[in-house]
Amino acid sequence: MRIERVLHVQLMIPAGREDEARAFYCGLLGLHEIDKPEVLKRRGGLWLEQDDFQIHLGAEKYFADRSERREHVAFLVDNLEDARKTLAAAAIEIKDGDQIPGHRRFEFRDPFGNRLEFLTISDRALGS
């Protein structure tokens, strides 16, 4: 067996808050919503896509607080400071976590408490 690639990751949102999720993930972060298969639409939630990677936002009736959880999705961004400014302008709290060699990064939470990370490869890692 050989895993070829990661197709999608699923995050959870509270049932009935899909419009808020669209505003955050599509409006603020710039991801694109794609159609869910008809058989899954009754479950709520929504699917998002960036290039060939998808994020599925599943809707939970009994949604648990995620504000202290560590699982996350990391996005490689072209300009970390522009991303920081965009999120700060939207009153998103940014946390500078521990820096790791070869990257610059920060994390933040979506409106539902899911942890997200933006990172960029540092010049040093590119051999400059």
What string of H, E and C letters represents the secondary structure of the chain?
Answer: CCCCCCCEEEEEEECCCHHHHHHHHHHHCCCEEECCCHHHHHHCCEEEEECCEEEEEEEECCCCCCCCCCCEEEEECCCHHHHHHHHHHCCCCEECCCCCCCEEEEEEECCCCCEEEEEEECHHHHCC
The pLDDT value recorded for residue 128 is 42
Share of the chain above pLDDT 70, in %: 95
Over residues 78-106, mean pLDDT: 94
Q: Which residue has the higher pLDDT, 65 or 84?
A: 84
Which pTM does this prediction carry?
A: 0.89
Question: What is the rounded average pLDDT for all residues in the chain?
Answer: 92
The pLDDT value recorded for residue 67 is 83
Q: Give me the domains of the chain, ranges plus CATH numbers.
A: 1-61 (3.10.180.10), 70-128 (3.10.180.10)
The pLDDT value recorded for residue 123 is 62
Over residues 46-58, mean pLDDT: 95
